[in-house]
Amino acid sequence: MKILCAVKRVVDYNVKIRVKTDRTGVETANVKFSMNPFDEIAVEEAVRLKEAGVATEIVVVTVGPATAQDTLRTALAMGADRAILVQTDTETQPLGVAKALKAIVAQEAPGLVILGKQAIDDDCNQTGQMLAALLGWGQGTFASRIAAADGGLTVTREVDGGMETLALPLPAIVTADLRLNEPRYATLPNIMKAKKKPLATVTPDALGVDLTPRLTTLSVSEPPGRSGGVKLPDVATLVAKLKNEAKVIP
């Protein structure tokens, strides 16, 4: 079985986000980028499935600028076999990415597509579900455990009431949650090997996909600062403030 992993290049999670002075977005100049953490978990799970003999090949794909090759090389160093870059300088949004991934799926014919449940930059949590709808495939979102069973997969996912286990026939879409696994660190030998692994570049036009953004950002601003806490002398004062100032109790 071939596994297709979709990853995204995002501002590194350790970087303190700053809003541009013109409020058109967040500052990205001279900022460290890395693979989206949830996508990193997805790549790790694909590698584990290959190590277990469930998968035979892992193809990793991203939609983004030429600099996103670094993110693909990271995935190759983790254990992916080859990579595809859908190169565009256009702002990527979930529906456009889902359409691009659908075109890649048509070319690669994978038995399973794994991606992170959401990206930490826009937090949309939409691409996996949109791709499943476009393909008409079954989906297991927010996966905390994946296992091969009876020619398909069982996916355990977290829901409001606890845990839910789904049986998915292949092909299928799975989105990775934080508790699915802990990604490995890429070793120096594997980083060197990744430089020689195949990395193909295609354009949205070649795939017949229009990535024109459908949403427009009007303004970006930082959340208001929180006021400092105060110490109260007794419970009676606390109750009075909750009643008269916060008005959260009658």
Residue (of 153, 184, 59) closest to 110 by Cα position: 59
Total structural domains within the chain: 1
User: Do the domain assignments include residue 225?
Assistant: no
Region of residue 123 (left: phi > 0; alpha: psi -120 to 50; beta: else): left
CATH code at 53?
3.40.50.620
Show Cβ contacts of residue 134 under 8 Å, excluding neighbours closer than 6 positions. 98, 99, 102
In the prediction, which pLDDT does 151 show?
Answer: 82
Domain hosting 211: range is 2-218
Q: Identify any residues that bridge with 165 across adjacent strands, giving them in sequence order.
A: 156
Instruction: In whole angstroms, give the CA distance from residue 101 to residue 128.
Output: 10
In a domain, 178, yes or no: yes
Give, in degrees to the nearest 5, the angle at Cα 75 between 83 and 39: 105
Residue 167 inside a domain? The answer is yes
Beta bridge partners of 35: 9
What per-residue confidence (pLDDT) applies to 176?
A: 94
Give domain status of residue 158, yes or no.
yes
pLDDT less than 70: residues of the chain: none
Whether 54 maps to a domain, the answer reads yes
Strand 112-116 and strand 2-6: pairing? parallel
Taking every pair of Cα atoms in the chain, the longest distance, rounded to a whole number of angstroms, is: 70
pTM: 0.85
Degrees, nearest 5: CA angle 62-50-112: 55
Residue 44: predicted pLDDT: 96
Looking at the DSSP bridge assignments, the partners of residue 93 are none
**Amino acid identity, position 92:** T
